[in-house]
Amino acid sequence: MKRVRTFTLPNGKATSSTDRYCREWNRLAKPVAKVLNCDVIGMDPGIHLAPKSGAPGFQLPVSVAQSILALLQSNRRLRRFHEGGP
């Protein structure tokens, strides 16, 4: 019997799809890394980032990364509202 490998998503649920696993983690990690001027160097658990300045890398817990992402999304909506966009 073939053993199915499972991966943990940022929301804590499991998947056997490596594509979904990468897509979900990147959806969280990439915008956070961009605003912090970092490269993503690892995921699960948390987001592992390396500053582009060469400073030592660090890990953000998923909850912190999700809060940063929510602030970024909220800021984009607010900016569009003030600019008269959708």
Reading the block at residue 42, the tokens are 């690892």
pLDDT tens column, 5-54: 999 999 999 999 999 999 999 999 999 999 999 999 999 899 999 999 99
Taking the C-alpha atoms of residue 51 and residue 55, their distance in angstroms, rounded to an integer, is 6
Helix, strand, coil shares of the chain as percentages rounded to 5? 45, 20, 35
- In this prediction the pTM is 0.79
3-state secondary structure of 39: strand
